[in-house]
Amino acid sequence: MGSRNRSNVLLVEILIAVLFFMLSATVLVRVFVTARNMTLRAGVETQALAEAQNVAETLYAAEDPAAALEDMQFKLYHGAWSRSDGDYTLYVEGEEKPADAGVSWVGTVRVFYRSRNVNQARQEDEELFSLPCARYREVPV
């Protein structure tokens, strides 16, 4: 009878050790998955920032912002220009305003992180950042 109790205690100890290692493995897998997702998101943010800066600089140099946006494959949708690039979406909004001796174009480049596959930003999409951009050009008299 004594050896049977010992074997039962040994089995319980082994079962507790296995459960402890399973719990540890589960926690470690979650930590590594979270770290991978953070790395992927950081890569998307870096790529989106570079592309948004490129768009803002192109708009600054362009004589016609609408033509420049069309050349960069942006589509006009309800008064805003948009382009989807994988995991993020770029939106450009702007307007021309008459100035003293010319025309001023003032706009914003906004970047949204897409957590799922959609064409337009929704409430669930997270805005990563926005860049202001402006262009002034003189109008010959």
User: What pairs with residue 135 in β-bridges?
Assistant: 105
Alpha helices in the chain (DSSP H): 2-61, 65-71
User: What is the token pair recorded at 29?
Assistant: 């897998």
pLDDT along the chain (141 residues), means of 10: 73 94 96 92 92 93 89 90 89 87 89 66 74 84 62
Phi, psi of 74 (to 5 degrees): -85, 150
| pLDDT at site 54 | 94
